[in-house]
Amino acid sequence: MPCELILALDVPTREDAAPILRHLRGRLKWVKIGLQMFTAYGPNYVREVAGMGFDIFLDLKLHDIPNTVAKAVESLGPLPIRMLTLHTSGGGEMMRAAVAAQQKTNPKLLLLGVTVLTSMDAAGLAETGVTAAPADQVASLGKLAAGSGIRGIVCSPQEVALLRKTLPADMQLVTPGIRPADGAAGDQKRIMTPADAARAGSTHIVVGRPILQAPDPAAAAQAILEELSGAG
């Protein structure tokens, strides 16, 4: 299965997003709506973007006690979303509760377990009390997620090859931290090019600023799609 491109719609307002979505409509399948846009505009904005024909990845990174996360999944389940994130560091009980709620409310929804954020490196993890190397922490959390019934993982592309050796073959691996070869890293520390991420085994890549900040976002997205198509 070819690796798919997800646009991270991380812009300040829906007015900023509108021309980008208009130009990418019919060219791009996936759009990620994160905390910034969801907090500003709520569920109706999810419905609006889905109504334009996009598949929605709702990136809220849920992390709370098991009952609260389960109730949040139940509340979000009826929305027209295909993916939803939660933090694997919430533990097995929390993830199992989320999976049970997902199965009850939206069996087709893919829950994605976030492992180690791509903005973090070993020093950042150490500040939180985690002494393991990022790759080791990702592998540990990925194994915990898989054992809890989670069918997709969010990780840096640099950990994809490792996870492909340790997790079930049908696990979906969604990787932010993607930068074209000529792109700036920004605040991302564990990055990879689209083609390299696809070859490593990513099922989906998440790209934001290299598309959003391009003079022609549609052309930038098309270039990444073409890079992915040639990565086999």
Question: In whole angstroms, what is the distance from residue 109 CA to residue 183 CA?
Answer: 32
List the structure tokens of 230.
């040639």
Tens-digit pLDDT profile for residues 188-222 = 455 688 988 999 999 999 999 889 989 998 899 99
Tens-digit pLDDT profile for residues 21-62 = 999 998 899 999 999 999 999 999 999 999 999 999 999 999
Q: Judge whether 61 counts as a catalytic residue.
A: yes
Question: In whole angstroms, what is the distance from residue 230 CA to residue 232 CA?
Answer: 6
Tens-digit pLDDT profile for residues 65-84 = 999 999 999 999 999 999 99
Catalytic, out of 29, 61, 71, 143: 61
% of the chain beyond a pLDDT of 90 = 72
Q: Enter the pTM of the model.
A: 0.91
Instruction: Describe the crossing of helices 92-105 and 134-147 by its angle, rounded to 10 degrees.
Output: 50
Q: 31 pairs with which residues across the strands?
A: 7, 56
For the chain, what is the mean pLDDT? 91
Q: 83 pairs with which residues across the strands?
A: 57, 110
**Cβ pair 224, 231 in contact under 8 A:** no
Q: Which of 208, 197, 178 is nearest to 30 (CA)?
A: 208
Domain at 4-229, CATH homologous superfamily: Aldolase class I (3.20.20.70)
Tens-digit pLDDT profile for residues 103-131 = 999 999 999 999 988 788 899 999 999 98
Q: Is the pLDDT of residue 232 over 70?
A: no
More confident residue, 147 or 120: 147
The H or E element spanning position 59 is strand 55-62
- pLDDT at residue 180, rounded to an integer: 74
